[in-house]
Every structure is written in C-alpha cells, then in structure tokens.
Amino acid sequence: MKQTGKVIDLRSDTVSVPTPEMLQAMMQAQVGDDVYGEDPTANRLEAMTAELLGKEAAVFVASGTMANLVSIRAHTEPGDEVILDANSHSFHYECGGYAAVAGVTFWLVQGDRGIIQPEQIAAAVRADNVHFPRSRLVIIENTHNRGGGTVYPVETVRRIADVCRQHDLRLHMDGARLLNACAAAGAEPADYARHADSVAICLSKSLGCPVGSLVAGSGEFARRARRLRKMLGGGMRQVGYLAAAGIYALQHNVERLAEDHQHARLLADGIRRTGGLQLKYDPPETNMLYFDVLPPRTPADVQAVLRKEGILLNDASGTTFRAVTHLGVTRADIEKAISVLQTHFG
C-alpha cells in the first residue's frame, strides 16, 4: 500500500528545515564579503556565539565535520596524538580527516556511553619518549551521539580540563548538540565552554538551520581556525544569508529544545510497552534514543512497517535503530509512531 500524508522523519535532527520565520530573516539579511571580513550578519553571528560560550572569538564554518577538523589542526602538529572516546563522531563519521588533513593519530578510550573519565585520559597520555607520538589534544563529545545522546556532567568536564592542564594537553569539545546538553543539565553553554580550549556547536540540527556550525576559542585560536577554514575551501562570500538563520535560531529555537527531549521520553515510554522492541539505553537523556528489535522479528520487518506508515528511522547497526526528535516532529507525530510500533510489535 502506498503511504500518503505527512512523513514523520526520525532519522536525524539534521533533517529539520527552516521555519517560514527563519526564511524571512534570511531574506532580509544584510550581507558583504565574509572573506574580507565585511559581512555584517556573519560578524554578528560570530560575536553572539563567542558571547554565548564565553570565548574571545568564534568562526562560522560550513559543517560540524569542518569545525572539528579545523580545531584538531589548529591545536596540533602532524605526528601528534589525540585522545578521545572510541565511539566518537570524529573517529567514526568524519572521513578520516584527522589523518588525511591534520596528520595526527587517535588514541581511543572506551568510555561509558561515550563519557570518558579524567583518569582514563591521564592513563592514555604518552610518556616523553622519542619512540612515541606526542599526546597533544583531548576531544570530548557533548552530547554523545553513539552513546544515545548522553550528557557530560559539568563537573566531569572541569576535572578533564584539570588533567589536560597537568599534562599540557589542549581540550576540544565537539558540542554539535551542546545546547541539548545544556537543556538537559540545566546548565549554561559557558558553564561547559569555560573548561575547553575550543568548542564547536552545530546550527543545522535541532536548531533548524539549513547549514553551518561555529567553532569558538581564544582570539589566537580563531585566527588560526579562520586561516585553516580558507585552506579547506570553507571561505564563503555573502554568507550572511546563512548566518541570519543562525542568529534567528539562537534567539528563538534554543528554549524549545526541551520539547524535543520530552518527545523522546514519550517515544521511549511507548517502546517500553511493546513486547517486540527493547530500549538500548533507558531512559533517553536528550533528543535521541536507540532500540533493538527482538526475535523473531527482524530489522527488515521494522523498516517495512514503518515505511508503509510514513515513518523514517535509521538502522544504526545490526538489530539496533535510532530515533531522533527535532523541531519538525510534533507530539501528534510521536503518538502516531507509538501507535504504529505498538500495533505491529506489541
């Protein structure tokens, strides 16, 4: 049977699209040549982000992958080593740019749902020996995607920063969903960011922008990041049209993130009441959840049912699925998804 009506897209918060109000803000943007530093809207977005994170400066970049790569390269030299969780986005989903472009190696630490502890970092630091690469950078991901949207406690980040200072390491926070972490933890972005040398945030996930991320740090870090952005082909011209979407998002779409978290918990409750599905991480901390399909049903069964009903999910791996709530998903959408799952897998 052919599906009709609205498609409920739970594959990722990256599928969120600008609202009419955001599009109107984009159309009204004042623009200039950003490579010359003359785009007033891009300059304003960068200043707003720096203030939000309590940093000296911020740089608008094309994507979260570019934000992380620019940060890795800005903090390291070829041959250095980076310490991070084994399930980090930078390791799994960023095309090996750390090796191909930055020329660094990764030392992978097994965290608890992506959350690594200061003691693990201290144990991973290389001895000062001519045979070893130089430990130089630590990356933490907040929220952690493959961990199920897990949130770093602010105190853990502070303790990690202490270890980094003791060992002359730099600390980068991949905060693609940092504002989700803040909504869940009841913290301000600067509460996290003050402990890191650089922080990346993404605009094109639950904030609803069509494209873009920002990376923030010291003035010197930002100057280096801007040069590296240009090297990677990320110097954009009249980018204020995109920056205007980011300004709108920071002004209007941050407080509503808690609604996405509520929807994720509602969906989790519905899955919990089925017999054929099982939550992998329970309860969800933010806007994403993972669940497994139990025998004798198969992932193919799940996909066939959901496609027929107009519901899209990502097959994370094996028997595991991921669902992500975002501003394009309403409570009614979640209730429909629950009804479908309970009808076919209850």
The per-residue pLDDT for 262 is 98
- Answer whether residue 166 shows pLDDT above 80: yes
Residue 3 has pLDDT above 90, yes or no: no
Instruction: Count the Cβ atoms, other than its own, within 10 Å of residue 68.
Output: 29
Residue 118, amino acid: P
Cα–Cα distance for residue pair 194/21, rounded to 1 Å: 32
pLDDT of residue 255 exceeding 50, the answer is yes
C-alpha 141, offset from chain centre? 7
Q: Which CATH number fits domain 8-15+256-345: 3.40.50.1110, 3.30.499.10, 3.30.950.10, 3.90.1150.10?
A: 3.90.1150.10
Q: Where are the domains of the chain?
A: 8-15+256-345, 31-252
pLDDT in tens, 313-327: 988 788 899 999 999
8 Å CB contact between 346 and 278 = no
Identify the DSSP state of 174. E
β-strand pairing of 81-85 with 57-61: unpaired
Q: Say if residue 310's pLDDT is above 60.
A: yes
User: Is pLDDT above 70 for 4?
Assistant: no
* pLDDT tens, residue by residue, 37-88: 999 999 999 999 999 999 999 999 999 999 999 999 999 999 999 999 999 9
Q: What is the pLDDT of residue 57?
A: 98
346, pLDDT greater than 70 = yes
% of the chain at pLDDT higher than 70: 99
Q: Which numeric CATH code is attached to 31-252?
A: 3.40.640.10
- Residues 152-172 have a mean pLDDT of 98
pLDDT mean over 174-198: 98
- Mean of the per-residue pLDDT values for the chain? 96
Whole-number percent of the chain with pLDDT over 90: 94
pLDDT tens-digit readout, 269-278: 999 999 999 9
User: Considering only CA atoms, which of 267, 271, 288, 269 is closest in space to residue 335?
Assistant: 267
The pTM of this model reads 0.96
CB 74 within 8 A of CB 225: yes
**Mean pLDDT throughout 159-163?**
98
The predicted structure's pLDDT at residue 1: 39
pLDDT value at residue 110: 98
CA 150, 155, 159, 160 dihedral sign is positive
Residue 205 near residue 14 (C-beta atoms within 8 A): yes
* Domains 8-15+256-345 and 31-252 fall in the same CATH topology: no
